[in-house]
């Protein structure tokens, strides 16, 4: 799993907490909101909403932290 996130983002933090509680390891991909990396084409290709966090799993991208946490709970109860 690849976690696109930013250290100072509350929604990213929320997802990191859930991943840690589940004991799941991810590849940490920093997306720096201060330098507007989330608005660049490279990240837009990952999440067209241009928001962090986003979680890539087996080539598919999950977005919106509450939905991602719900998915984590269903797949890693
Ligand atoms: N409802 C979304 C909100 C995500 C969100 O607002 N992320 C912020 C950081 S906490 C962001 O990427 N902001 C960039 C921007 O607004 O341009 C979620 O919970 O994932």
Q: Are 1 and 53 in contact (CB under 8 A)?
A: no
Please give the pLDDT value at position 7.
97
Domain count, the chain: 1
The total number of residues shown for the chain amounts to: 77
Token pair recorded at residue 9: 């983002």
Instruction: State the closest ligand 1 atom to the C-alpha of 49, by its place in the atom list counted from 1.
Output: 12
Which structural domain range is residue 21 located in?
Answer: 2-75
Q: Name the residue at shortest CA distance from atom 15 of ligand 1.
A: 51
* CATH number for the domain that contains residue 31: 3.40.30.10
DSSP codes of every residue in 29-54: EE--GGGTGGGSHHHHTT-TT--S-E
The mean pLDDT values, 10 residues at a time, for the chain of 77 residues are 98 98 98 98 98 98 98 97
Q: Name the residue at shortest CA distance from atom 6 of ligand 1.
A: 51
Q: Name the residue at shortest CA distance from atom 11 of ligand 1.
A: 51
């Amino acid at each position: 799993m690849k976690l696109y996130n930013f250290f100072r983002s509350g929604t990213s933090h929320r997802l990191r907490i859930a991943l840690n509680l589940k004991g799941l390891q991810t590849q940490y991909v920093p997306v720096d909101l201060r330098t507007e990396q989330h608005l660049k084409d490279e990240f837009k290709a990952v999440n067209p909403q241009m928001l962090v966090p986003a979680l890539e799993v087996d080539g598919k991208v999950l977005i919106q932290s509450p939905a991602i946490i719900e998915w984590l709970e269903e797949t890693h109860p």
